[in-house]
Copies of this chain bind each other. A is one copy, B any other.
Amino acid sequence: MRFGVLGTGTVGSAVATRLVSLGHEVRMGAREAANPKARDWAAAQGARASAGTFADAAAFGEIVFNCTMGTASLDALHAAGAQNLGGKVLVDVANPLDFSGGTPTLSTAAAGDSLAERIQKAFPGARVVKALNTVTAAVMGHPEKVPGDSDLFIAGNDADAKRRVTALLEEFGWKSVLDLGDVTAARGTEAYLLLWLRLAGTLKTANLNVRVVH
C-alpha cells in the first residue's frame, strides 16, 4: 500500500520507517521538496521510500499520516492540499502541545476542543482518525517496547477508516486498539498528554504506556 507521511521529525521518521519495514511504499513530505532530512531518510530506506513536498506526499498516499508538530499541523495540511486529502484516511498523530510558556499546555485548551476536530472541520473530505498520539515515537511502530499488552486509543467519525487504521496498527504489533468513538474523543487522548509528560518525567523513560483495567 502507498502511504504519505507528513513531517520529517522523530515521529514522521519512526512511522515512515516502520511502514517501509512492513513492505509499504512511503513518501515523506516536508514544507520544502529539498528538505534534507526527508531526502536522507528516503535515500537510507531504499526503493520503497521517497521524499517530496507535503502535497507530493499527500497525493502519493492512499493513507496519509499527520506527523507534524501540533502547532503547525493545520498549516502543513493546508500546504498538502484538500484535493490531495479528499476521501482518504488521515491518521492524526500530532498533539496540540504548546511549550512556549515553559510548562506544556494544550493550545486547544481555551476552546475546549481538540486538534483532530479542527483538522476534521478544516478538511471535511478527509476521514480523520486520531491514533498513536498517546505513545512516544519509538513505541508507535514497536509496541513491544513496553511490556505486556498496553492499550492504544483511536477516535474518529468514520467506522471504515477506523477499521483500516486498526488493521494497520495490528501490523505494527498493537494487540489492543481501543476505539473511543467519534473524533471528539481526541479531547481526551490529547489532554492525556499532560499526564503522559509527568509520567515520563517521573519514570524517567518515554517508553511507557497505560493498560486500562476494568
Q: Is the CB of A112 within 8 A of B109?
A: yes
Main secondary structure of the interface of A (DSSP, over half): mixed
Enumerate chain B residues within 8 angstroms of A101, measured Cβ to Cβ: 112
Q: Is the CB of A180 within 8 A of B194?
A: no
Bound CA–CA A210/B188 (angstroms)? 14
**Given A191-B194, A192-B195, A195-B192, is A213 in contact with B147 using a C-beta cutoff of 8 Å?**
yes
A188 to chain B, nearest CB (A): 4
List the 5 closest pairs (A to B, CB-CB), nearest first: A188-B195, A208-B214, A109-B109, A105-B112, A210-B210
| Contacting residues of chain A (147-177) with chain B, CB-CB under 8 angstroms | 147-148, 150, 153, 155
Q: Is the CB of B181 within 8 A of A188?
A: no
| Contacting residues of chain A (164-209) with chain B, CB-CB under 8 angstroms | 178-181, 184-185, 187-189, 191-192, 194-199, 201-203, 205, 207-209
With A106-B191, A210-B212 already in contact, 7 other A-B pairs whose C-beta atoms are closer than 8 Å: A106-B109, A180-B202, A181-B201, A187-B194, A187-B198, A188-B198, A208-B212
A121 to chain B, nearest CB (A): 15
Residue from A101, A147, A178, A202 having most chain B Cβ neighbours under 10 A: A202
Enumerate chain B residues within 8 angstroms of A194, measured Cβ to Cβ: 187-188, 191-192
A170 to chain B, nearest CB (A): 19
Enumerate chain B residues within 8 angstroms of A195, measured Cβ to Cβ: 153, 188-189, 191-192
Q: Does A146 contact B (CB under 8 A)?
A: yes
Bound CA–CA A101/B187 (angstroms)? 15
Q: Per a CB cutoff under 8 Å, which of B110, B153, B211 touches A109?
A: B110
Q: Is the CB of A181 within 8 A of B198?
A: yes
Enumerate chain B residues within 8 angstroms of A106, measured Cβ to Cβ: 109, 112, 191
Per-residue contact bits, chain A 34-69, to B (CB 8 Å; 1 contact, 0 not) = 000000000000000000000000000000000000
12 A-B pairs whose Cβ atoms sit less than 8 Å apart in the complex? A101-B112, A146-B213, A147-B214, A150-B213, A180-B198, A180-B201, A181-B198, A188-B198, A191-B194, A192-B194, A208-B212, A210-B210
